[in-house]
A = this chain, B = another copy of it.
Amino acid sequence: MTFVTISDEFSFIKKISPKILKQTSLIKGIGDDAALIRGNSEVEEIVCMDTMVEGVHFNEKTMSPFDIGYKALAVNVSDIAAMGGLPSFYLVSIAIPKAWNERELLQIYEGMNEIANIFNMDLIGGDTVSSKAALVITVTVLGYIEKGKHLLRSNAVAGDVLFVTGTLGDSAAGLELLLKNGRHYSFTNEQQFLVSRHQKPFPRVNEGRILAKRNRVALNDVSDGIASEAAEIAEASQVAIVIEKHLLPQSDELKKFPKEKQISWMLNGGEDFELIGAVSKEEWEILKSEFEKEKRSITKIGYVESGKGEVYLKEQDTLTPLLKAGYNHFK
């Protein structure tokens, strides 16, 4: 999420958040990856909405029409994953400049189709309007989770293990390669891995489902970088989070870049769409073996202490406060 017009996105969201809620079926409104609504006797409903803008989140150099569609849906499915849920339906609203032709537009929907087919989702509505300049695509995803099993940012407790799925920083590295060479360049296999991590992030729904079986998990998806995501968990849970630098999981492909880029991208690159969270030490042991059984990747990257929303980076026994540094795309 980028926000250049107003000084502080966080304070703006606070200003527009309703002071009084009217619908008694609401479980969680603004303030997590998605909203939660009471459903039938067995499930809770999940709903989220994300927008991608041409020239801000993608451009002709970085993403094909197919990639744009794929990613616009994937980032929303990632929000459902971060609640522990399963996605079911999506709606798409697209504002289209004259420069785009019908073939390209259909490719955008084909890209969404790839994700929808994997997760058994149906396209059920939306809007198509004309745009003066840039293409703007907004997706709403509906999903569900077993009653009471949702995973909130506010669930972390002092003493917890901090973990992340997969590897970090790949998407930012891929973006650098794309901005330098353009998407039509003949990338090596190693480079292509990073580029794909930027263009076609795979939402961690299956990982979220393993996590939702545990008793208490705080969870966020990595859209803005783990420094920022950890801060959201720390603030919502009113704890302090310590990220241990030497534990951060990275791909072999990322290791080819200069050291300072690696660490910056792992902490602040964003758009990896992995899951970051916290569980008790006892649950962590169970989680580790379940992820191993399912051949999925999860890594301990730190711990939770008592506090008031702080995040620290630990390096050779030195703690440095980590400032939220969001992802600035093409700025």
A59 to chain B, nearest CB (A): 10
Asked if A179 is at the interface of the complex by the 8 Å CB criterion, the answer is no
A294 CB within 8 Å of chain B: no
B5–A54 touching, CB < 8 Å: no
Chain B: minimal CB distance from A81 (Å): 16
- The residues of A with any CB-CB pair to B shorter than 8 Å are 1-7, 9, 12-13, 15-18, 21-23, 25-26, 29-30, 34-35, 37, 39-41, 45, 47-57, 88-89, 91-98, 100-102, 105-106, 109, 116, 120-134, 136, 138, 140, 142
**Are B122 and A21 in contact, CB atoms less than 8 angstroms apart?**
yes
Q: Which residues of B contact A45 (CB under 8 A)?
A: 45
* Apart from A16-B123, A136-B138, 17 more pairs, CB < 8 Å: A5-B97, A6-B96, A6-B105, A16-B106, A21-B122, A26-B122, A29-B123, A35-B125, A37-B124, A39-B40, A45-B45, A48-B91, A53-B95, A53-B129, A55-B132, A127-B138, A140-B140
B93 touches A51 (CB 8 A): yes
Q: Is A54 within 8 A of B123, CB to CB?
A: no
Can you report 20 residue pairs joining A to B where beta carbons are below 8 Å apart? A3-B129, A3-B130, A12-B128, A16-B109, A16-B123, A22-B120, A30-B123, A30-B125, A35-B89, A37-B124, A40-B41, A47-B91, A50-B93, A51-B129, A53-B131, A56-B95, A93-B138, A131-B134, A132-B133, A138-B138
Flag if A4 contacts B98 (CB, 8 Å). Answer: yes
Of the candidates B35, B100, B126, B134, the one whose C-beta lies within 8 Å of that of A49 is B126
Do A121 and B57 touch (CB < 8 A)? no
For A1, A22, A97, the residue with the greatest tally of chain B CB atoms inside 10 Å of its CB is A22
Query: Is the Cβ of B49 less than 8 Å from the Cβ of A91?
Result: yes
Q: Least Cβ distance of A294 to chain B in Å? A: 23
Tell me, in angstroms, the Cα distance from A132 to B53 when the chains sit together: 8
